[in-house]
């Protein structure tokens, strides 16, 4: 397997998202990067960090993300970390327009002005999935920061595997989501989940919740917090790819309108 393979590069698609809340608590989750040209502006592209609404949590708090610096060879300088912080990030925050869809992103295009190393998804990963060709039990791969665990020294996430546990073409519990059989812990919220189909990886969706066992079966957001440890069932809720596309389209259109107003 080549070092340029998707499996090798997947660890550079994400960033650990930490938000220091106004009540002095913290929210930790996962975000992944997506780049798209701004419509009608051929010289501009937007870099979005996609995650869950509940990961970003409080837009008046302080958002912190970090990337490894980039060597002159173009490779990652592991452990030479460049931190980005913004207090009150409401001006760069874009939630999914449907209040029931737990997806949001922030516009982090300014990182392109710094010498940092990252990879990003592009539209080929978001081509519509043929769910009929993806049976339950199909392997998936996802990446993130479960229980805030990651390679701290080298600033790298953990790559994990699981399988599809529900019927993909059917919306689980009537919502645009799929269940995966995987150890999804708090801190995994926002993790991108990929499935290999037709010889290529595509985005299956984004982790939102983990199933727990208490007095009754229930779900909780898969974002790391100071809550007491629950008994994890080894099942996670993944928001379907189509909702990610809706979020990105909505956000890029809003940014395009803003750019148009700026240059007139």
Identify the three-state secondary structure at position 93.
strand
Asked if residue 120 lies in contact with residue 13, where contact means CB atoms within 8 angstroms, the answer is yes
> Could you list the pLDDT tens digit for every one of the 264 residues in the chain?
456 788 888 999 999 999 998 788 888 999 999 999 887 766 788 999 999 999 998 999 999 999 999 999 999 999 999 999 999 999 999 999 999 999 999 999 999 999 999 999 988 899 999 999 999 999 999 999 988 899 999 999 999 999 999 999 999 999 999 999 987 777 789 999 999 998 889 999 999 987 655 444 455 565 554 444 455 567 899 999 999 999 999 999 999 887 655 443
Write down the pLDDT at residue 209: 83
- Size of the chain, expressed as the number of residues it contains: 264
Distance CA 90, CA 120 (A): 23
Read off the pTM.
0.88
Measure the CA–CA gap between 232 and 253, rounded to whole angstroms: 39
Q: What is the pLDDT of residue 39?
A: 79
Q: Where are the domains of the chain?
A: 6-123, 124-244
CATH of 124-244, one of 3.20.20.70, 2.40.10.10, 1.10.3720.10, 1.20.1260.10: 2.40.10.10
DSSP 152-206: TTTTB-EEEEEEE-S-TTS-GGGSSEEEEES---TT-TT-EEEEEETTEEEEEEE
Distance of alpha carbon 177 from the chain centroid: 15
CATH architecture entry for 6-123 = Beta Barrel (2.40)
* Contact in structure between 143 and 30 (CB atoms under 8 Å): yes
Given this chain, do its domains 6-123 and 124-244 carry the same CATH topology?
yes
Query: 137 by DSSP, 3-state: which?
Result: coil
DSSP 196-226: EETTEEEEEEEEEEEEEESSSEEEEE-SB-S
């Amino acid at each position: 397997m080549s070092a340029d393979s998707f499996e090798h590069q997947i660890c550079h698609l994400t960033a650990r998202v930490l938000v220091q809340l106004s009540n002095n608590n913290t929210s930790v989750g996962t975000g992944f990067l997506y780049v798209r040209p701004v419509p009608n502006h051929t010289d501009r592209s937007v870099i979005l960090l996609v995650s869950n609404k509940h990961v970003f949590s409080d837009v008046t708090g302080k958002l912190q993300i970090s990337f490894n610096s980039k060597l002159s060879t173009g490779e990652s300088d592991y452990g030479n970390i460049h931190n980005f912080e913004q207090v009150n990030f409401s001006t760069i925050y874009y939630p999914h327009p449907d209040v029931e869809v737990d997806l949001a992103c922030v516009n982090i295009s300014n990182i392109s002005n710094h010498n940092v190393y990252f990879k990003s998804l592009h539209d080929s990963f978001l081509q519509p999935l043929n769910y009929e060709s993806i049976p339950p039990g199909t392997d998936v791969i996802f990446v993130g920061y479960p229980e805030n665990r990651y390679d701290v020294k080298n600033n790298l996430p953990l790559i994990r595997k699981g399988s599809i546990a529900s019927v993909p073409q059917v919306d689980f519990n009537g919502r645009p989501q799929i269940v995966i059989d995987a150890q999804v812990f708090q801190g995994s919220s926002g993790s991108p989940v990929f499935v290999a189909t037709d010889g290529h990886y595509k985005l299956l969706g984004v982790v939102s919740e983990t199933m727990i066992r208490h007095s009754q079966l229930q779900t909780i957001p898969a974002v790391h917090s100071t809550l007491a440890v629950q008994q994890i069932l080894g099942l996670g809720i993944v928001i379907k790819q189509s909702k990610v596309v809706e979020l990105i389209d909505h956000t890029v259109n809003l940014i395009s309108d803003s750019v148009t107003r700026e240059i007139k």
